[in-house]
Chain A
Amino acid sequence: MEHLNAEHLARLVDEQPTPEEADHLSTCKACSDKSDALRSQTEALRALPVMVPPQGDWHVLEAQLRSEGLMKDPGLVQRLGFVRTPGWMKTAAALVLFLSGTGTGVALTHADPGTIEPVAMDFANVEGAASAVLVAEQEYVTAVSRYREILAAGGGDNYGGDPVSRFAALEHLVMVSQAAVRQAPGDPFLNGMLASAMAERDVAARMVSSKRDNWF
């Protein structure tokens, strides 16, 4: 039998040789060596490692994703773990941010007002400003955490199942929001919170009405 050509030998990497091919391979060292080399080559290809993308690849991708609106940074509420909390609760948590600096936040954190020290607003340089932002964010985290504890301890997680209690809580939030908007009527953030709180309160009001209807 003549020597096996290269393509025949390449096929034998995956497939069984015919009896004739097997006989030839058992007696022809040249073909046997080539066959072994092709097997080794295939094994080496299968073992090729993954490749690290060039540096800067991510930044190019990130810019492109943002330009297409496919990527956005999570809001502070999401970063704190409120991804799955209801909208009204997010509004409540956001309100704490505003109120924590005006007195109500002090009550929520159960802190002695006398122990609250004002943040040193040293904006003379970038480091000072960054430091002030970090302190403010930490205070917000503490206030929100405390707020969640209060909700949990007071049955806050059950508000969704108790429309009357939920409505009362939301009504309170609306009142507080309205007070905040009166202080800063042009503030879009506060107006947004007020609108959200009112919408949630209206939904709760409809749920209360619906339950009352069922009683009859």
Chain B
Amino acid sequence: MKTNSINLTDHQIIRLAADGDARAIRSLYDRYSPRVYAVVRRIAGDDDLAEDYAQEAWIRAIRALPTFRGDARFSTWLHRIAVNAALQALRKAETREKREAPVVADIAIAPAASDSLLQKRLEGALDGLPEGMRRVLILHDVEGYTHEEIGDVLGVTAGTSKSQLFKARAKMRVMLAGLDGAAQEHGAEAWSI
């Protein structure tokens, strides 16, 4: 067995990180931070909050590493911690202002590369959804959670999760259609999703 960290397996890196090894922790961060940041950013709906939530998620994860037994994939385990950290932080905050499409004009007026624009439009519409709908839509349609898993995480029934999801999809569709209209008014390319 080689002990050079470059050749270590995931399991070995995780064990070293659990012991506080700086390089092992950095290795985990480099590998998984984009996914962690993405999910907390979408749940938070705000860049500054997302940074705080991502930090909190990582600290929780590093604290809990000694308890990680490998029953689930590490990425799944970490992802769940990130989701819980973001959701709990949001519940505590309670002061978040609702964002009803304040970014429409910016997104529509400045088209960049097509993929990038589409992504921005989707992210902007996500940010504009009411809190409850947004969480369910992100967990189901973006992160691939089942309604039962969403029920566990959010403390609601699977039926409530479904109901919120369908409302969120419909509202998102309306918002995106609104973005198309705004884009056309400003002479930018309209996007039909």
Asked, given contacts A48-B123, A83-B3, A84-B3, whether A54 binds B22 with beta carbons under 8 Å apart, the answer is: no
CB of A60 within 8 A of CB of B55, answer: yes
Please tell me if A61 contacts chain B, counting CB pairs below 8 Å: yes
Stretch at the interface among B32-40, B105-113, B149-157: B32-40
Main secondary structure of the interface of B (DSSP, over half): helix
Find chain B residues with CB under 8 A from A82 CB. Answer: 3
Which A residues lie within 8 Å of B166 (CB)? 7-8, 10-11
B121 vs chain A, min Cβ distance (A): 9
Q: How far is the CB of A210 from chain B (nearest CB, A)?
A: 30
Total contacting residues, chain A, CB less than 8 A: 43
Instruction: Report how many residues on chain B are interfacial, defined by Cβ distance under 8 Å.
Output: 48
Among B4, B23, B29, B35, contact of A81 (Cβ-Cβ < 8 Å): B4
In the complex, what distance in Å separates the CA atom of A64 from the CA atom of B165? Answer: 37
Let me know if B41 and A37 touch, CB within 8 A: no
Contacts of B26 in A (CB 8 A): 58, 62
Residue of A nearest to B138 (CB): A45
**B99 contacts chain A at the CB level, 8 A cutoff:** no
- The listed residue with most A CB atoms (<10 A of its CB), out of B3, B33, B162, B166, is B166
Contact across chains for A44 and B193 when beta carbons are under 8 A apart: yes
- Write the chain B residue with the least CB distance to A60: B55
With beta carbons under 8 angstroms apart, the residue of A38, A46, A68, A81 that contacts B173 is A38
Q: Which residues of B contact A (CB under 8 A)?
A: 3-4, 16, 20-23, 25-26, 29, 33-38, 41-42, 47, 51, 54-55, 58-59, 62-63, 118-119, 122-123, 126, 137, 141-142, 144, 162, 165-170, 172-174, 176, 192-193
Residues of A that sit less than 8 Å from B by CB: 5-11, 13, 34, 37-38, 40-42, 44-46, 48-54, 57-58, 60-62, 64-65, 68-74, 78, 81-84
Please give 4 more A-B residue pairs, beta carbons under 8 A apart, in addition to A46-B142, A54-B47. A38-B170, A45-B142, A65-B25, A65-B62
